[in-house]
A = this chain, B = another copy of it.
């Protein structure tokens, strides 16, 4: 079937035509629940049995703040392939793909509609004690087994080819690594923080470090990344986690995925300035977030290193001292990428609700200034980082200085 966007009813007919999902006479409901900016997402259910699937179809354009530009539907192939690979290593943490249709750019997959978007949960002040173990395992398993450590050299190289993803990488290259650090038309920030944003545009050491991180993003094919692992790509309940939407998947530096998780925890941390008025509650929730940052890294690294010792087929992986030096670079990359991802969410095209939900513009500006200070400190301080508490110490110090200055002004 040649590509065309499906209606709710056509989506039903489509899944009925697939073997093994629903019986022939099934009565199905269909509801399009996507935001229509990038993809159609049909929530299809069979009330009689409670059985349900998601049908996700890529649209041949992206629409952001009114603008619309063409965007390859090949990203549906990338996403379904990435989901399949990730599902192989962490089946409980990734929706199962039942069917992929290349021409329609359409994936039929497990419906995880009983989960909520983690970003929403964090904004509501929810705590997810299992999250570090879950995401740490997701990161360790998916990144290890697709890297030169865990994959056969031929398989790894074939996967690099499968996941060449130029258009979506370009979005990251522009919106994460370039536009926010100059006066670019795509930027979209709170006018009240113009002074701080201009200071970043003029901060030469910072821009140099970001350019280095960008070149690593462009060149370092370490593992199959999710590529966009923010808290909006994580569906969660108290007991379960599902990482979704790997449209940006490609072979890149491992620290980029871990940094995305940490950045989004810290964006919420900064947002607490305006999301939570009770100082005691705010401090307690921030403490929870910082512990989570530490635990995410610690869980990742302990599982990753265990895999390294037990599963690495690459002979040179076992050379004495290599894993320590590798892991040290990883945490430094992680901090650097986390910093870029924080800055871009404040300055660049795509904001986050953790900040945007703060109704009062001045209060929001204060939270955004804190986020900028944290992002900058992570990027500039990353080469001294060796363990997760070095990351949270940076955040604590920036925060202390921030409130001190606010008091003394």
Question: Quick one: closest B residue to A173, CB to CB?
Answer: B153
Main DSSP-derived SS at the A contact region: helix
Q: Is A178 an interface residue (CB 8 A)?
A: yes
Task: List 15 A-B residue pairs with CB atoms under 8 Å apart, sorted by A's residue number.
Answer: A153-B173, A153-B218, A154-B166, A154-B170, A158-B166, A160-B164, A161-B161, A161-B164, A177-B316, A208-B325, A211-B322, A212-B322, A214-B316, A215-B316, A215-B326
From the candidates B165, B166, B210, B320, name the one contacting A207 in the complex (CB within 8 A): B320
Distance from A317 Cβ to chain B, minimum over Cβ atoms (Å): 8
In the complex with contacts A157-B169, A164-B157, A178-B221 CB distance below 8 A:
no
In the complex with contacts A169-B153, A220-B220, A315-B178, A215-B148 CB distance below 8 A:
yes
Report the bound CA distance from A211 to B157 in whole Å.
19
CB pair A178–B316 under 8 Å, yes or no, is yes
CB pair B212–A148 under 8 Å, yes or no, is no
Q: Is A359 an interface residue (CB 8 A)?
A: no
Q: Annotate A158-184 by CB proximity to B: 1 below 8 A, 0 otherwise.
A: 101100111101100100011000100
Report the bound CA distance from A319 to B215 in whole Å.
12
Q: A319 to chain B: which residues have CB within 8 Å?
A: 204, 207-208, 210-211
Q: Is A376 an interface residue (CB 8 A)?
A: no
Q: A315 to chain B: which residues have CB within 8 Å?
A: 178, 182
Report the bound CA distance from A164 to B161 in whole Å.
7
Among A161, A315, A325, residue most surrounded by chain B Cβ atoms (within 10 Å):
A315
Distance from A24 Cβ to chain B, minimum over Cβ atoms (Å): 42
Could you say which interface size class chain A belongs to?
35 or more
8 closest residue pairs by CB, A with B: A211-B319, A157-B166, A211-B316, A154-B166, A208-B321, A148-B218, A161-B164, A211-B322
Q: Is A294 an interface residue (CB 8 A)?
A: no
Q: Is A219 an interface residue (CB 8 A)?
A: yes
Q: Is A32 an interface residue (CB 8 A)?
A: no
Report the bound CA distance from A157 to B319 in whole Å.
32
CB pair A208–B178 under 8 Å, yes or no, is no
Report the bound CA distance from A204 to B322 in whole Å.
10
Q: A153-B166, A154-B166, A212-B322 are in contact. List 5 more A-B contacts (CB 8 A).
A: A148-B218, A153-B169, A210-B316, A219-B220, A219-B222
Q: For chain A, residues 191 to 216, give those with C-beta under 8 angstroms from any C-beta of chain B.
A: 204, 207-208, 210-212, 214-215
Q: Annotate A130-152 by CB proximity to B: 1 below 8 A, 0 otherwise.
A: 00000000000000000010000
Copies of this chain, how many? Answer: 2
Question: Quick one: closest B residue to A254, CB to CB?
Answer: B219
CB pair B157–A321 under 8 Å, yes or no, is no
Q: A178 to chain B: which residues have CB within 8 Å?
A: 315-316
Q: Annotate A283-298 by CB proximity to B: 1 below 8 A, 0 otherwise.
A: 0000000000000000
Q: A219 to chain B: which residues have CB within 8 Å?
A: 148, 220-222
Among A178, A208, A210, A222, residue most surrounded by chain B Cβ atoms (within 10 Å):
A208
CB pair A153–B177 under 8 Å, yes or no, is no
CB pair A320–B220 under 8 Å, yes or no, is no
Question: Quick one: closest B residue to A316, CB to CB?
Answer: B211
Report the bound CA distance from A369 to B220 in whole Å.
35
CB pair A320–B166 under 8 Å, yes or no, is no
Distance from A27 Cβ to chain B, minimum over Cβ atoms (Å): 45
Report the bound CA distance from A17 to B164 in whole Å.
38
Report the bound CA distance from A319 to B213 in whole Å.
12
Distance from A159 Cβ to chain B, minimum over Cβ atoms (Å): 10
From the candidates B153, B208, B220, name the one contacting A170 in the complex (CB within 8 A): B153
Q: Annotate A303-334 by CB proximity to B: 1 below 8 A, 0 otherwise.
A: 00000000000011101111001100000000
Among A178, A207, A208, A316, residue most surrounded by chain B Cβ atoms (within 10 Å):
A316
Q: A166 to chain B: which residues have CB within 8 Å?
A: 153-154, 157-158
Question: Quick one: closest B residue to A208, CB to CB?
Answer: B321
Question: Quick one: closest B residue to A322, CB to CB?
Answer: B211
